[in-house]
Structure 1
Amino acid sequence: MKSLILALFGLLLAGCASGPRIDTRHTSLGQDSRAQFIVLHYTSSDLQRSLDILKGDGVSSHYLIGEAPATIYRLVDEDRRAWHAGESQWNGRTWLNSSSIGIELVNRGYIESAEGRLWYPYSDEQIDALIVLLKDIMQRRGLKPGAIIGHSDIAPQRKVDPGPLFPWKRLADAGLVPWPDAQAVARQRSLFATAIPDVAWFQAQLAEQGYKVPEHGYLDLETRNVIAAFQMKYRPARFDGEPDAETAALLAVLNAAG
Structure 2
Amino acid sequence: MSTRNGIILALLALCSCAPQPYKATNKVYRQQAKSLARGLQDQPIGLPVDSVQPTAWWAGTVNFNLRKPNFVIIHHTAQNSCEQTLKTFTMTRTQVSAHYVICRDGVVHHMLNDYLRAWHGGAAKWGNVTDINSTSIGIELDNNGTEPFAPMQVRSLLVLLDTLKHRYNIPAANFIGHGDIAPRRKVDPSVYFPWQQLAEKGFGLWFDTSAVSLPANFDTKMALRIVGYNVQDSTGAVEAFRRKFNPADSTKGAAMSEGEQKILYSLMKQSQ
**1:32 Cα deviation from its structure 2 partner:** 9.0
**1:23 Cα deviation from its structure 2 partner:** 9.2
Q: 1:135 maps to what in 2? A: 162
One-letter identity of the residue aligned with 1:205: A
Cα distance 1:33–1:178, how it changes in 2: closer, same or farther (>3 A)?
farther
Structure holding more strand per residue = 1
Q: Choose which of 71, 78, 90 in structure 2 pairs with 1:55.
A: 90
Are 2:260 and 1:247 aligned? yes
Distance 2:114 2:103 in 1: 19
Q: Verify the 8 A CA contact 1:55 1:75 in the aligned structure 2.
A: no
**1:206 Cα deviation from its structure 2 partner:** 0.5
Q: 2:188 maps to what in 1? A: 161
Cα distance 1:160–1:235, how it changes in 2: closer, same or farther (>3 A)?
same
Q: 1:213 maps to what in 2? A: 231
**1:182 Cα deviation from its structure 2 partner:** 3.9
Identify the range of structure 1 (175-184 vs 243-252) with the bigger mean alpha-carbon deviation: 175-184
One-letter identity of the residue aligned with 2:225: A
Q: 2:74 maps to what in 1? A: 40
Distance 1:123 1:19 in 2: 46
Q: Verify the 8 A CA contact 1:87 1:155 in the aligned structure 2.
A: yes
Distance 2:75 2:85 in 1: 12
Distance 2:172 2:143 in 1: 24
Cα distance 1:171–1:107, how it changes in 2: closer, same or farther (>3 A)?
same
Q: 2:120 maps to what in 1? A: 84
Distance 2:118 2:239 in 1: 27
RMSD: 2.5
Q: Verify the 8 A CA contact 1:108 1:120 in the aligned structure 2.
A: yes
Number of aligned pairs?
A: 212
Distance 1:19 1:245 in 2: 58
Are 2:216 and 1:234 aligned? no
One-letter identity of the residue aligned with 1:42: H
Distance 2:162 2:153 in 1: 14
User: Deviations for 1:33-88, whole angstroms, at most 9, x for unmatched residues?
Assistant: 531110000001111111110122210000000002x1000111111110000001
Alignment of 1:60-209 (within 5 A): 60-68=97-105, 70-109=106-145, 119-184=146-211, 187-188=212-213, 197=217, 201-209=219-227
**1:257 Cα deviation from its structure 2 partner:** 2.7
One-letter identity of the residue aligned with 1:226: A
Distance 1:92 1:54 in 2: 28
Distance 2:109 2:236 in 1: 32
